[in-house]
Structures are given as C-alpha cells and as structure tokens.
C-alpha cells in the first residue's frame, strides 16, 4: 500500500478532482439528470485513466527539467522513488484503462480517444516551442465535459463544446497563475510561458479575462438550456470564488499561490457540478 501511495503521489492522483466534476457535468447535462450506472462507472474510470496517463507522461517527459527546478526536484522521479520504467508502465496501464472505458461506452468515444491521447501526452512538449501551452492544457481538460456528453448520447453537439471551451478557459487561466512561480527558471532554460514572455502582471490580467469569459460562457449555457435557479446560484458562488482566487495573488506577492491553485479551483469544480445537478433534478 505504501508503494501504491508513492505512485499516486507521483501523478497527483487527487487532482483528478479538477476535471472529474466537469466530465460528470457533461454526462448529466446530456442525460437530463442521472445517467445509467454503467455510464457513470465507465466515465469515472475513463477520467481516472486519462488523468493518470497525462500526469505520468508529463513526469516522464519533464524528468530532466524537474530535476533542475528547485520547486520540482522533490518529485518522485527526480528523487529516484519511482524509476523511468515504472512510470512508463504506469502510462501503459492508464492508457489500457482509458481504452477499455471508451470501448465500453460507445463507438464514437473509442474513435475519438486517440485524438484525446495526443493532446494529453503532447501538452508537455508545447512548453518547448510556444507560450500558448497554457491553452493546450486548457484544451486537454476541456475535453472532459465533451467526453461526458458523448459517453451518454454517442454524438457531438454545440452545448458540450461551449462547456468544454468554458472549462478550457478556466484551466488555462489558472495555469497562467501557476506558471508565474517558474518565470526565472523558464527564461533560464528556454521554456515558453506567458508569464516568462510578457511578465507577471500581463499574465495575471489575462488570467482574469479568461475567467471572466468562463463565467459568461457558463451563463450563456445555463440560459440556452433553461436551467433552474440552483445553476445560477452555483454560478454566482463560482464567480465569487474566482474573484477571491485572484485576490490571493499579485505580481509582487505569490506567497498564497498554492491556496489559489489547489484549494479554490477544486471548490469551483465541485460547486458548479453540484448546483448544476441540483438544477437538473428539480
């Protein structure tokens, strides 16, 4: 069990909470309430597989850089707690879980899965050549509600795409905040990020804009679908949490960045899902 704990910590398995509620959101919106038990279980395993694959691949691809960065040098792979072979095996296991889950859901999920894998695994490489990498990460997480929708309906529609864009803007926006702590390292090692390219103030302002657009898109979606009042209450709470998140960090003070990044964003994901689900079952 202690070894399992090392693996789970290495890929930050608990951070699946960021994307999982949005996969459930797409799934429940498509079902108009509760999906079938099988759909719920296979969407859950698909998300766990996708998130584990993305993180394990990220750790492998960035192992050399992680060892050089004081912030990440304590991770399992640089410290030798997990070998390269073990991390590669974890990638393969996660890919197998994702593939099995997509196959069990429906044909379209299975057909689209390779494209999703390319985005999930390709994201770490984008930091080597473009400061748009934050939005590639947003795309990776924005696939969650789209996948949840397709898992139920077996087809694509504008509603999950709008939701996916909202999630992508949200994720990309808070990745801009997170990247602020690595500005000097990124510049020294030729890595691309918006904070390193344009400065902390510009990156934080762009993050605010992305999160404002997130709220607007979620508002449009709620109006378009005619969702009941709990949805709007949840959106108001989420908007308040985003405002609070941005109050915690500034160009001259990143001391509370972990609270903004990890805790607040987890609350936002849960709030939006819970209140939307409540609106669906009323």
Provide φ and ψ at 236, rounded to 5°. -65, -45
Give the global pTM. 0.92
- pLDDT by position in tens, the chain (length 282): 566 667 667 667 666 666 789 899 999 999 999 999 999 999 999 999 999 999 999 999 999 999 999 988 988 888 888 889 999 999 999 999 999 999 999 999 999 999 999 999 999 999 999 999 999 999 999 999 999 999 999 999 999 999 999 999 999 999 999 999 999 999 999 999 999 999 999 999 999 999 999 999 999 999 999 999 999 999 999 999 999 999 988 888 887 877 676 778 888 989 999 999 999 998
Which architecture, in CATH terms, is 16-281? Answer: Orthogonal Bundle (1.10)
Provide φ and ψ at 253, rounded to 5°. -150, 105
84's tokens: 């390269």
Exposed/middle/buried for residue 85 (C-beta within 10 Å: 0-12, 13-18, 19+): exposed
């Amino acid at each position: 069990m202690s070894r399992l704990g090392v693996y789970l910590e290495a890929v930050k398995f608990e951070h699946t909470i960021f994307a999982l509620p949005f996969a459930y959101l797409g799934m429940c919106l498509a079902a108009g309430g509760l999906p079938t038990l099988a759909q719920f279980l296979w969407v859950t395993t698909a998300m766990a597989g996708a998130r584990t694959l993305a993180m394990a691949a990220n750790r492998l691809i960035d192992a050399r850089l992680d060892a050089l960065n004081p912030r990440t040098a304590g991770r399992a792979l640089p410290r030798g707690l997990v070998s390269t072979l073990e991390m590669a095996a974890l990638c393969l296991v996660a890919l197998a879980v994702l593939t099995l889950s997509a196959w069990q859901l429906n044909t379209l999920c299975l057909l689209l899965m390779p494209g999703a894998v390319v985005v999930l695994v390709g994201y770490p490489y984008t930091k080597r050549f473009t400061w748009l990498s934050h939005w590639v990460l947003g795309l990776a997480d924005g696939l969650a509600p789209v996948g949840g929708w397709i898992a139920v309906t077996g087809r694509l529609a504008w509603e999950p795409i709008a939701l996916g864009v909202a999630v992508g803007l949200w994720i990309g926006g808070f990745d801009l905040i997170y990247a602020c702590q690595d500005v000097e390292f990124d510049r020294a090692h030729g890595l691309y990020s918006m904070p390193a390219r344009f400065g902390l103030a510009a990156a934080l302002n762009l993050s605010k804009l992305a999160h404002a657009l997130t709220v607007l898109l979620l508002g449009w979606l709620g109006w378009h679908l005619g969702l009941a009042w709990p949805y709007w209450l949840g959106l108001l709470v989420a908007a308040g949490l985003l405002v609070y998140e941005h109050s915690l960090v500034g160009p001259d003070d990143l001391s509370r960045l972990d609270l903004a990044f990890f805790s607040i964003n987890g609350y936002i994901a849960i709030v939006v899902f819970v209140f939307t689900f409540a609106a669906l079952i009323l």
